[in-house]
Amino acid sequence: VPRGRVWVEKIDGKIVKLFRNQGAAAISKAADEGRVAETSRKDAVGEIRKQVFERSGGECEYCGKIVTYQTGHMHEVVPKGKGGDVSLYNCVFICYSCHLGSPNAAHANRRINWTPKPD
Ligand SMILES: [Zn+2]
Ligand SMILES: [Zn+2]
């Protein structure tokens, strides 16, 4: 697969998930059912983001604050390093504060890791 291309799962013609690699796509149930396609990563992520935003109804899925397609953040609940994928199932549309900008934010723990631990 050339750089910037990904394998995706489609349901009713809409992209619902990006596979991690071609191998993962090949062994999926979606492949058996002819619902796998190759496309550009940019388009695939954009299509997921659009659907996740629509599902949110314009409100942060964590705190309910108003978000727009531009101001909201798409967050992967299970991180890539722990087996998570970019998909409708693993992504939520949340506000900046819930994502990065508060002590209880989704990524707050990652930043705390930079702080030296007290003895
Ligand atoms: Zn929020
Ligand atoms: Zn995130």
Residues 6 or more apart in contact with residue 84 via CB below 8 angstroms:
76, 77, 78, 90
Distance 17 CA to ligand 1 centre (A): 24
Residue 1 near residue 20 (C-beta atoms within 8 A): no
Mean pLDDT by 10 residues, the chain (119 residues): 87 96 95 97 97 98 97 95 94 97 85 50
Residue 16 near residue 9 (C-beta atoms within 8 A): yes
- For residue 2, the model assigns a pLDDT of 66
- For residue 58, the model assigns a pLDDT of 98
Residues with CB under 5 Å of ion ligand 1 are: 60, 62-63, 65, 94-95, 98
Minimum-distance ligand to the CA of 72? 1
Sign of CA dihedral 19, 21, 27, 31: positive
Q: Please list the helix, strand and coil fractions of the chain in percent, rounded to the nearest 5, in that order.
A: 35, 25, 45
